[in-house]
């Protein structure tokens, strides 16, 4: 039976105006060449500089951080100059001598000899007939050298050109280039008949038609896609890039303001460099232009705990603390103060009143975090009480003053659907929740309908509890598929176009249909069991032993398992193959406790807890698992008997829009069947309604560059026959009906 009992006059809680926000992190090359409208790859020539403190291995093309974290490094200077190519006799080389300024580690020496150097852009430079780009470069030359700056096709057909004469010390040279043709694979070419050396310190090519026509601004189509989501806030600049994998790769506000060519570059732990042109000022400017609140995330004195962490000493923590204070002052202090004056110098004398939230760290946890959180929170709150502070762990559980906690989830759609009730029993007097990062990842890498269904089901639960779960933001936001580091992502773009994945449209539907308050409602639905299957493994004789057939039948394991360092671990229902997301259930016994944990993607869910005393070097373990149920005995004693949470066929939430006088019902059907839902309201409902539906022919349906609108919402007028409505298979729905 499927029914929603609705009491439109019963006010459960007001809506949270800040519920739907966006989170930008420079990942998948979403900064330079993405949201930040710069068109030149490696415009500062710094991309191949090995991050300070790291060592480079040319065979594996990797760098290793001082604490031992290994990551890829694909732009080594030994293999060329990333993004730039010389031809027709031109010669170019990098130099670390006499660079443009203290921030620049490299400059480019060029001898043209009648040839040219070209910049390839990010998969080409996209030009349009009649549209204009602004080029500038800092260059120097002992003699007078005329250089032709041109936008051309790959084969050299010229679409626009200007000539600049370089002479003397470093000077900024600039010109406008208006293209005569459309070409998505154009290049920027610098050519000259002269043979004398020119040194180029920094370059830039920007469309003049940026969002709000801001200089050094954002790519208009991408910024507009963000605004169409009606976000209440922007969280920035990360994510893991705030943490870094070393002291040197940790984010610092002070490197991201001022003249762009004087900003230090930042090696992002997603495998590339940013010139920091999209910096703190630009983020605040976007928030102001878009009339949304800003949430600044800063490093709190430690690096990413998933990447061989480095815990900074007191001196460096103080340094990071000061960096956070300076960022706050930059936004909030009057123009006649040190940091307010810097803001004014950068073109914004008024304060940035959009700054509202401050997040202390990103995804940090445990004792080391708690110490730092306390240190930052207590001092910042005393000095800047006007902001809302966000912790990245449940610091309230250890008695620390905590306002809002940022929870993150990356899992499969069924995790989200079955955890629709996750926040149903929050303490009304407890902390506020911000679900700062979430996405259905497993089985949804290209951003399919299935992911959107799981997330939407989860969001109905969040909407129901928005008296405490006040904010959310999907993650990550952008992906240029030529540089993928993380999937799925909400908006897929290349150098000239973009599309939203189904989750984008689901979020748009939810954000456009908020209402004024959550009204009384009870959802009656049928459920599917979450039936698991997969391998068992455990440690014996110091080795991982994998046993058990991978099928859906009853599976039993009986084994002697090693206790390593007082801890015993057994995995069951493990479906994870090499290179895939993890999905397994672990029994972890230590310190007299035994816990069954579900590791699903990057999320971790405690299934059940029990007591268990371990002695000696091994324990005898018996697991009996069947479908969604399991029973565990350790040394002959029953420690766990549990069933997994089942998956509701429909999930729903009801709000009332007082201004429009309408009831809004969001219903998600995650099954493969059409379902008739009975809307049983305790006041009469109108007999017709507007139904907006996001659906497709199968769960895997995606949008793409070729079919950017294959999965988009469609709105129809429908009749509510005796309150009954057909909710199609695999669909996210918003029903709006007049309240009589």
Residues that bind ligand AHR (CB under 6 A): 25, 27, 238-240, 362-363, 437, 475-476, 486
- What minimum distance in Å lies between the beta carbon of 410 and ligand AHR? 7
- Neighbouring-strand partners of residue 234: 22, 294
Rounded distance between C-alpha atoms, residue 256 and residue 280, angstroms: 6
- What minimum distance in Å lies between the beta carbon of 649 and ligand AHR? 30
- By beta-carbon proximity to ligand AHR, the closer residue of 306 and 545 is 306
- Give the residue at shortest CB distance from ligand AHR: 239
- Neighbouring-strand partners of residue 172: 138
- What minimum distance in Å lies between the beta carbon of 305 and ligand AHR? 10
- By beta-carbon proximity to ligand AHR, the closer residue of 300 and 656 is 300
- What minimum distance in Å lies between the beta carbon of 239 and ligand AHR? 3
Catalytic residue (choose from 243, 363, 455, 532): 363
CA dihedral angle for residue 566, residue 370, residue 283, residue 448, rounded to 10 degrees: 30
- By beta-carbon proximity to ligand AHR, the closer residue of 306 and 637 is 306
- By beta-carbon proximity to ligand AHR, the closer residue of 362 and 498 is 362
Query: Helix axis angle, 280-290 relative to 314-332, nearest 10°?
Result: 40
Tokens at residue 641, please?
Answer: 């008997």
Instruction: Please say if 79 is a catalytic residue.
Output: no
- By beta-carbon proximity to ligand AHR, the closer residue of 25 and 412 is 25
- What minimum distance in Å lies between the beta carbon of 294 and ligand AHR? 18
593-600, strands of its sheet edge to edge: 543-547, 535-540, 568-574, 583-590, 593-600, 603-611
Rounded distance between C-alpha atoms, residue 296 and residue 307, angstroms: 22
- What minimum distance in Å lies between the beta carbon of 27 and ligand AHR? 6
- What minimum distance in Å lies between the beta carbon of 610 and ligand AHR? 30
- By beta-carbon proximity to ligand AHR, the closer residue of 27 and 561 is 27
Rounded distance between C-alpha atoms, residue 676 and residue 526, angstroms: 12
| Burial call 603-613: b when 16+ CB within 10 Å, e when fewer | bebebbebebe
Residue 132 three-state SS: strand
Task: Classify 65 in phi/psi space as left (phi over 0), alpha (psi -120 to 50) or beta.
Answer: beta
Tokens at residue 695, please?
Answer: 């659906």
Rounded distance between C-alpha atoms, residue 46 and residue 103, angstroms: 10
Tokens at residue 222, please?
Answer: 């991408």
- By beta-carbon proximity to ligand AHR, the closer residue of 25 and 463 is 25
Rounded distance between C-alpha atoms, residue 737 and residue 724, angstroms: 13
Residue 277 φ/ψ, nearest 5 degrees:
-65, -35
Rounded distance between C-alpha atoms, residue 453 and residue 216, angstroms: 38
> What residues are annotated to the active site?
363
């Amino acid at each position: 039976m499927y029914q929603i009992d609705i009491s439109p006059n019963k006010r459960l809680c007001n809506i949270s105006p800040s519920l739907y926000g966006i989170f930008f992190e420079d990942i998948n090359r979403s900064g330079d060449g993405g949201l930040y409208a710069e068109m030149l790859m490696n415009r500062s020539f710094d991309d191949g500089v090995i991050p300070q403190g790291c060592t480079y291995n040319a065979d594996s093309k990797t760098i290793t951080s001082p604490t031992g974290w290994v990551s890829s490094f694909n732009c080594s200077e030994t293999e060329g100059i990333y993004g730039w190519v010389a031809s027709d006799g031109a010669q170019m080389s990098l130099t670390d001598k006499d660079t443009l300024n203290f921030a620049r580690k490299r400059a480019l020496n060029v001898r043209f000899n009648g040839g040219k150097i070209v910049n390839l852009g990010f998969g080409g430079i996209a030009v349009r007939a009649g549209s204009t780009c602004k080029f500038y470069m800092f260059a120097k030359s002992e003699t007078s050298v005329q250089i032709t700056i041109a936008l051309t096709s790959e084969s050299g057909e010229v679409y626009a050109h200007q000539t600049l004469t370089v002479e003397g010390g470093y000077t900024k040279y600039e010109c406008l280039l208006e293209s005569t043709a459309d070409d998505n694979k154009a290049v920027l070419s610098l050519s000259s008949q002269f043979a004398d050396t020119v040194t180029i310190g920094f370059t830039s090519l920007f469309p003049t038609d940026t969002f709000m026509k801001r200089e050094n601004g954002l790519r208009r189509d991408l910024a507009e896609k963000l605004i169409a989501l009606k976000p209440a806030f922007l969280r920035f600049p990360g994510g893991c890039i705030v943490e870094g994998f070393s002291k040197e790769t940790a984010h610092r506000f002070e490197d991201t303001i001022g003249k762009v060519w004087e900003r230090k570059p930042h090696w992002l732990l997603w495998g590339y460099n940013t010139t920091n042109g999209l910096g703190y000022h630009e983020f605040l400017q976007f928030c102001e232009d878009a009339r949304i609140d800003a949430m600044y995330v800063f490093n709190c004195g430690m690096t990413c705990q998933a990447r061989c962490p480095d815990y900074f000493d007191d001196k460096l923590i103080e340094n990071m603390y000061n960096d956070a204070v300076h960022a706050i002052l930059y936004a909030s202090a009057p123009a006649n103060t040190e940091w307010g004056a810097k803001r004014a110098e950068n073109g914004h004398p008024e304060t940035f009143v959009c700054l509202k939230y401050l997040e202390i760290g990103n995804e940090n946890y445990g004792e080391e975090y708690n110490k730092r959180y306390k240190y930052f929170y207590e001092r910042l709150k005393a000095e800047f009480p006007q902001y809302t502070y966000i912790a990245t762990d449940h610091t309230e559980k250890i008695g620390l003053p905590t306002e809002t906690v940022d929870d993150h989830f990356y899992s499969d759609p069924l995790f989200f659907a079955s955890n629709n009730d996750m926040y149903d029993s929050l303490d009304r007097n407890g902390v506020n929740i911000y679900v700062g990062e979430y996405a259905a990842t497993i089985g949804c890498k290209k951003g399919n309908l299935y992911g959107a269904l799981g997330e939407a089901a989860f969001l109905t639960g969040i909407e129901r509890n928005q008296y405490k779960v006040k904010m959310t933001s999907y993650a990550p936001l952008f992906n240029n598929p030529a540089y993928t580091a993380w999937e799925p992502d909400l908006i897929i773009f290349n150098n000239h176009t973009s599309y939203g994945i189904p989750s984008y449209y689901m979020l748009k539907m939810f954000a456009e249909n908020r209402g004024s308050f959550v009204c009384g409602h009870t959802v009656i639905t049928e459920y599917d069991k979450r039936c698991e299957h997969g391998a068992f493994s455990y440690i014996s004789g110091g080795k991982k032993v994998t046993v058990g057939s991978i099928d859906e039948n009853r599976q039993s394991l009986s084994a002697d398992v090693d206790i390593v360092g007082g801890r015993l671990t057994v995995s069951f229902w493990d479906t994870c193959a090499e290179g895939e997301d993890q999905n397994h259930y672990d029994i972890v016994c230590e310190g007299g406790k035994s816990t069954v944990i579900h590791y699903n993607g990057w999320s971790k869910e405690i299934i059940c807890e029990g007591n268990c005393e371990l002695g000696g070097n091994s324990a005898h373990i018996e697991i009996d698992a069947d479908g969604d149920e399991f029973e565990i005995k350790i040394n002959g004693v029953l420690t766990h008997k549990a069933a997994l949470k089942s998956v509701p066929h429909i999930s729903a939430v009801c709000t009332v829009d007082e201004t429009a006088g309408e009831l809004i019902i969001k219903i998600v059907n995650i099954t493969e069947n059409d379902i008739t839902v009975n809307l049983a309201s305790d006041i009469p409902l109108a007999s017709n309604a507007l139904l907006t539906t996001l659906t497709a022919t199968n769960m895997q349906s995606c949008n793409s560059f070729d079919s950017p609108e294959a999965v988009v919402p469609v709105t129809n007028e429908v009749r509510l026959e005796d309150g009954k409505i057909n909710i199609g298979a695999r669909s996210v729905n918003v029903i709006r009906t007049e309240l009589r």
